[in-house]
Amino acid sequence: MHTQISIIIAFALYLGLMMYIGIYYYRKSRNLSDYILGGRKLGPWLTSMSAEASDMSGWMLMGLPGFAYSTGISAIWIALGLAGGTWLNWAFVSKRLRNHTEVANNSLTIPDYLKNRFRDTSRILPIVSAIFIIIFFLIYTSSGFVAGGKLFTTIFGLDYTTSLLITAGVVIFYTFLGGFLAVSWTDLIQGTMMFFAILIIPITATIMMNGPINTAHLIATEFPQGLSIWGPESDTYTLAIGIISSLAWGLGYFGQPHILVRFMAISDARELKKATNIAMVWVIISLVAAVIVGLVGKVYLTTPLEGADVEKVFLVMNEQLFPPFVAGLIWSAVLAAIMSTASGQLLVTASSVSQDLYKNIVGHRTSDQELVLISRITVLIISAIALCLALDPNSYILTMVAYAWAGFGAAFGPAILLSLFWRRMTLKGCVAGVIVGGLTVLIWKQFAWFGLYEIVPGFILSSLAIYVVSLLDNPPSKEITDEFDEAQQLHIL
């Protein structure tokens, strides 16, 4: 009983702080720009930590360690792909996107930016974009709720459905009230907690097993197949497909709305270089540590984990390594990871529904108060649907994330990249790219052709569709190209 009380106190302190932030920023969100982008007032630390915390999520503390627990050090290929994609996104997309979205009528969302970038008076582009955002974020948000369900079930032995409701309740509370500023500030706290949590588990376990040399010897003796960077696959074809699919996770970064929106919110584009350095240190250390958690957990835990339970390796190690209150704080970091991404996803979906669907379909002039209300109602509806999708306790978090990640990467990645770098790109080309990329992922996933991760064909076909259709279409107007040149000039400054 004393153990449970200590854990509950640790959780209560953390959850209480998150809810306070939501209430505080409820009073600060005076208009739609405040609610969706925080009024473009974020500094470099808040921008970088918010972006990475909303990116990595519970799958970094549960999904990736679980994958490493099963396959070994070959999980590092996913980490390499993610680290590379993160750097490319910060180095080549962040500043350009920040400038282009401001020049393009101060766009608040990714679909809104694409509509303004190509002067889409037909409104087809934001509507199509919003549909894909809703589809893939439902899957993505569900993965966060699954992680939360597993967390509370592991810690308190609660019924899985009850655990889901607790996770969703807290996320909905501060997203519904505080909007972007609440989400960003909680992300800063959560990102810090995630960083230290993913480091302290493998370090402490290694010390408990008499140091790194003895730990490495145990891994080599008890899990020798896990030390092959090529993984368990024997034939060259399967190995090549596996490595390509793992590295291809990096392509997804260019199309993730909940990450890209952080670039749009920084107060000064010149601060992005500092934010990039902060983000890369966080990402590289965290991803390497996540893989090490799986490897060390394989030899530290005396009772093997099987099936979907392998994704609990971090949680179970924490329980065995630390006293209840400390374990509760570290488990709070897992909840932090889950909540940071789920809240960011809910906010982007809500803003897309209000700004891109509702505003474009209704047609009449809408007030900021009306759009904020629609955004908040959307948070509730999307959460309810995501909860229904998360009801299966045997769902793999990493599998769900991979599907949604591919969907966004293929539907929006090429569209964002080419819109920022290619002056000749047209509206029809952009619409074709979003549709082809999104549909390719949805279809490829069902058939799993060649065993290839669906983001690879989706990204390639989307890029080809944009290029071919744009060249077949009439060149963009002078007004569009002048605006493109203006944004490019800002990038140089």
Report the phi/psi class of residue 29: left, alpha or beta, with left for phi > 0 and alpha for psi in -120 to 50.
beta
Hey, what long-range contacts does 352-355 have (CB within 8 A, 24 or more apart)?
A: 352/109, 352/110, 352/111, 352/129, 352/130, 352/133, 352/134, 352/257, 353/130, 353/134, 353/378, 354/32, 354/378, 355/32, 355/36, 355/108, 355/109, 355/111, 355/112, 355/126
User: Which of 109-123, 332-346, 452-466 has maximum average pLDDT?
Assistant: 452-466
Instruction: Give the C-alpha separation, 474 to 32, whole Å.
Output: 35
Contact residues for 444 (Cβ-Cβ < 8 A; gap 6+):
452, 454, 457, 458
Instruction: Give the C-alpha separation, 394 to 375, whole Å.
Output: 31
Instruction: Give me the mean pLDDT over the 244-259 stretch.
Output: 92
At residue 34, the pLDDT reads 54
Residue 114 in this model has a pLDDT that exceeds 80: yes
Q: Which of 322, 318, 329 is nearest to 8 (CA)?
A: 329
What string of H, E and C letters represents the secondary structure of 349-395? HHHHHHHHHHHHHHCCCCCHHHHHHHHHHHHHHHHHHHHHHCCCCCC
Is-contact 142 390, C-beta < 8 A? yes
Q: What percent of the chain has pLDDT over 70?
A: 91
Is-contact 310 70, C-beta < 8 A? yes
pTM of the model: 0.87
Instruction: Give the C-alpha separation, 119 to 136, whole Å.
Output: 26
Name the residue with higher pLDDT: 55 or 132.
132
Q: What is the DSSP letter of 476?
A: P
Contact residues for 150 (Cβ-Cβ < 8 A; gap 6+):
62, 160, 163, 311, 312, 315, 393, 397
Please classify residue 451 by burial: count the beta carbons closer than 10 Å to its beta carbon, then call 0-12 exposed, 13-18 middle and 19+ buried: exposed
CA atoms within 13 A on the CB side of 366: 20
Q: Which of 239, 230, 191 is nearest to 49 (CA)?
A: 191
At residue 16, the pLDDT reads 78
Is-contact 87 253, C-beta < 8 A? no
- The DSSP secondary structure of 15-61, one letter per residue, reads HHHHHHHHHHHHTT--SHHHHHHGGG-B-HHHHHHHHHHHHHHHIII
Is-contact 248 455, C-beta < 8 A? yes
Is-contact 124 292, C-beta < 8 A? no
Mean model confidence pLDDT for the chain: 86
* Banded model confidence at residue 6, pLDDT cuts 50, 70, 90: confident
What string of H, E and C letters represents the secondary structure of 311-361? HHHHHHHHHHHCCHHHHHHHHHHHHHHHHHHHHHHHHHHHHHHHHHHHHHH
Residue 139 in this model has a pLDDT that exceeds 60: yes
Longest dimension (CA), the chain: 72
Give the CA distances from residue 207 to residues 136, 343, 405, in Å, rounded to whole numbers and listed in that order: 41, 36, 36
Instruction: Give the C-alpha separation, 445 to 431, whole Å.
Output: 22
Residue 422 in this model has a pLDDT that exceeds 60: yes
**Domains of the chain in sequence order:** 2-397 (1.20.1730.10)
Please state, as a whole number, how many other Cβ atoms lie within 10 Å of the Cβ of residue 225: 11
Name the residue with higher pLDDT: 287 or 39.
287
Please state, as a whole number, how many other Cβ atoms lie within 10 Å of the Cβ of residue 220: 12
Residue 178 in this model has a pLDDT that exceeds 60: no
Pair of tokens at residue 210: 């008499």
Pair of tokens at residue 21: 């932030």
Q: For 235-254, give one letter per residue: b (16+ CB within 10 A) or e.
A: eeeeeebbbebbbbbbbbbb
At residue 41, the pLDDT reads 63
Instruction: Give the C-alpha separation, 290 to 270, whole Å.
Output: 32
Contact residues for 265 (Cβ-Cβ < 8 A; gap 6+):
37, 38, 40, 41, 42, 47, 180, 184
Instruction: Give the C-alpha separation, 437 to 443, whole Å.
Output: 10
Q: How do residues 366-386 score in pLDDT, each as one tens digit? A: 777 887 788 888 888 988 999
